[in-house]
Structure 1
Amino acid sequence: MKTKTIIGTIMSLLLIIGLAGCEKEEGRKITDYKEYTITVASEKVTGLIFSSGNNYVSDVYAILKEHSAEWEQLAYIEGFEYEAGYEYTLRISETSYLDHSMGEPAWTEYNLIETISKEEKTSEGIPDNFTPDWFYSEYCATVNPEFQYYIDADDNASVEEDINTNPMVTFNSLNCYMDNSWTRWFLVNEKKEIEMLGFIKKVNNDSADIPESYKNLKPEGTITGTMEWTFIIGKNPENEENAIKYDVFICYPSKSISAGPTPVPYFFKDFTQYYQEKYPEAGVRTVVVRYSIK
């Protein structure tokens, strides 16, 4: 019996050593390698990056591969120092790896081999974005175009007519999307073309600072917090020029099929001063608009 135990132990050790040797032997493999020349456009374009099991919107390089007339996206090029306003011709390498010990076992790396040229110019024919159509419906929150409003004025009709056609309120009949990280927004037309985009800057608000006028459009559900969200226009997240600010109520839905419903934001904008100045004879006292997430 003792001899069988010893033999079994030795066999187990040999098996473990053998498996370890196989893993070490397999390790990280290069499954493909190629070199080619590309043109990098003078400005970056909004695209979609897949990382850690999620899709993220980011500014990516617009590139033309040699012998190709169609612009493609490329997220990064190791060793490449990009300067907007210049079109580049680069020689790069593309290396594909496989390593089953990694969380994402297959990946590709791009490395700069040589900068062939750098020319100050505006690249032509660049698409406005590389974001696929399905991203908006599957990964984005949509601002409900059927907004609510409250008007208290001597001439309600004039203000009501304006508010239903005002591009500042209706987003010019475009669809307003926010990405799954709630950090970027897009105004997209029916063809899924981006007509305007930017960043979302979020800060917490003291509920005492929320205007009394918002009580006329109290959001549905239980309010858990108040914030201010700034919708920055353009590709510079630090440039708040012409930015649009909204007061936001974070609420738990009053009705949900889920045991642990996700809190949702309601966006509020006070247009009282705007309409007092636009219609000074209308006796405007309060004008508030509320948006929900569709």
Structure 2
Amino acid sequence: MALALGASLVLPQAAPAQDAQTLADIRQEMSVLFVEVQRLRRELSTTGGPGVTIPGGSVLDRVGLMESELQRLTRKTEELEFRINAIVSDGTTRLGDLEFRLCELEPACDIGKLGQTTTLGGGAAPATTGQIASPIQPPPAQTAPTAELAIGERADFDRAAAALASGDYRGAADLFAAFNQTYPGGPLSAEADLKRGQALAQLDDVRGAARAYLLAFTTDQTGPQAPEALFLLGEALGRLGQTQEACTTLQEVGLRFPQSPSVVSAQEARARLGCL
């Protein structure tokens, strides 16, 4: 960067005494000052496309690279902000001095009515404590961020859901299993495991269904699929003869999700199992 405005704002050392300056001299100094401000504004303009490229690789590698680049850009932003604030503060002081001297040469000018000099660039005057500005703060975390779907993710999920709705339980189970292998950790992962468990239950694969329900619940324990997944897991455990585990799991549905419709189904299942 060629931010040399701070040096260029220095007035000539061999300038004549204040009372010997003419009105034209002061106006010329003000013109030079504003030209340098325009140069500063050009420094703040972009000169081309972004120079950051995120190569391929694992998610962890890309996240690490992005974090490193963000830290570098944050440090650069802090340095530039400090330099710009110093330039604005110095330029504003010099401009105020020029306005005062200009008013002295104007017969009709009242120095007492000059007021405060407008900050260069507008806005509040920057702090000049000599310290670098505080780091950029990240945006506040959202309580329920909206996850984006990968290309083709919704279409693949809908294809598996259509197979389940049509009664093709084996095809649906396979499609949902392939879905979560293709899009691991995606926003539809929990629902995919839940529906895979339902397909396996229709194929009398109760153990496989129980595993799918457990995975659906552990993937997102507070999501919209969690109450049903927990209920179906408890019901599957009961069918596998694990009555005590089933009763405990079904009881958790009401404790964790008291407003969910699955609570009634869980209570009915507990009654059938004879849970205390």
Normalising to structure 1: TM-score of the pair? 0.22
Structure with a larger share of its residues in helix: 2
Higher relative contact order (CA 8 A, sep 6+): 1
Normalising to structure 2: TM-score of the pair? 0.23
